[in-house]
Amino acid sequence: MVRPRLECELAASDDLAEAERYAGALGTELTFAFHYLASCSSTQEVAASLAEAGAQEGTVVLAEEQVAGRGRLGRSWVSPRGGLWFTVVLRPERLKVVQLLSLAAGVAVARAVRDFCGVDARLKWPNDVQVEGRKLAGILVEGAAEAGAPRYALLGVGLNVNNDLPPELREAATSLKEIVGRAVPRVPLLLSMLEQLDEAYSSLRRGEGGRIVEEWKALSSTLGARVRAITRGEVIEGVAVDVDSDGGLVVETGSVRRVCYSGEVIHLR
Ligand code: BTN
């Protein structure tokens, strides 16, 4: 009799400090342990300290706000109250898992948003989650390795949920509140993302990277688009035609195919 009541409470819960209470009921392979913070610099930084101190795989650092949130390519990430800003500590055994982790996380976040909110979330390479071309969520994977083997990976997710966006971001970014027209309870959404992340990470660990790449492609808004890829100081313009087994974006320019493994892609009209 306790469980249905818990589920009912969970469906409406927006109290992130309570997330751990519900996470125990998840049937995931990872065991999630939460560090809830009202405010921090960046959950990546806090998670790095915890990982260095031996934190177990599945440790989640979750902050109500970040005052120095970090994005990809050295950018900052605006993270006021109302959003979901968290980092999961992972301890993958193989570099191949780390290599595909950011694509896998993109698939997981897009799926959770689609299932939970019924929103047509799509993936822009490598892992921006977008709705109608505006950015809803970003993913940052950082890590430490030793002698060619990963020591840990920090999987950071930033999702605009009920937070207001600053004027300079309103054209390029969006939030779930803006899309669905009402506030979205963040705890069940967070747990849905963690379930999806667990599933995608388990697939990678079982050597099913090919499946993750196929799932990424099915949710992609980049494939088939004309793109400008800026990678290692080089600019490549062409049509994005594929993603290879390492997660690289294959861009066709005339009769030549080039593969980008890092950097940024702009969709051209
Ligand atoms: C991007 O540039 O698209 C990646 C953004 C990643 C933001 C998240 S919010 C939680 C975690 N902590 C950070 O400082 N960054 C990531």
Quick: pLDDT tens for 112-147: 999 999 999 999 999 999 999 999 999 999 999 888
Query: 42, 60, 70: which to mutate for ligand 1, most atoms within 8 A of CB?
Result: 70
2 CB-side CA count, 13 A? 3
Cα of 69 from ligand 1 centre, angstroms: 6
Asked if omega into 92 is within 30° of 0 (cis), the reply is: no
Q: Radius of gyration over alpha carbons of the chain, in Å?
A: 18
Burial group, residue 228, by CB count within 10 angstroms (0-12, 13-18, 19+):
middle
Q: Which candidate, 93, 104, 109, places its Cα nearest to that of 205?
A: 93
Cα of 137 from ligand 1 centre, angstroms: 9
Around ligand 1, the residues with Cβ closer than 6 Å are 42-44, 66, 69-72, 75, 77, 79, 85-87, 128, 138-140, 156-158
Query: 85, 109, 264: which to mutate for ligand 1, most atoms within 8 A of CB?
Result: 85
Q: Which candidate, 269, 203, 241, places its Cα nearest to that of 260?
A: 241
Q: What is the pLDDT of residue 23?
A: 87
Cα of 153 from ligand 1 centre, angstroms: 14
> In this structure, which residue's CA is closest to atom 15 in ligand 1?
70
pLDDT beneath 50: ranges in the chain: 1-2
Cα of 196 from ligand 1 centre, angstroms: 18
Q: What angle do CA 182, 187, 191 make, to 5 degrees?
A: 125
Q: Which atom of ligand 1 is nearest to the CA of 72?
A: 2
**Contact call for residues 24 and 34 (beta carbons, < 8 A):** no
Cα of 3 from ligand 1 centre, angstroms: 33
Q: What is the pLDDT of residue 2?
A: 47
Q: Which atom of ligand 1 is nearest to the CA of 63?
A: 10
Between the alpha carbon of residue 252 and those of residues 13, 234, 243, the distances in Å are 47, 15, 12
152 - beta bridge partners? 144
Q: Which pTM was predicted?
A: 0.95
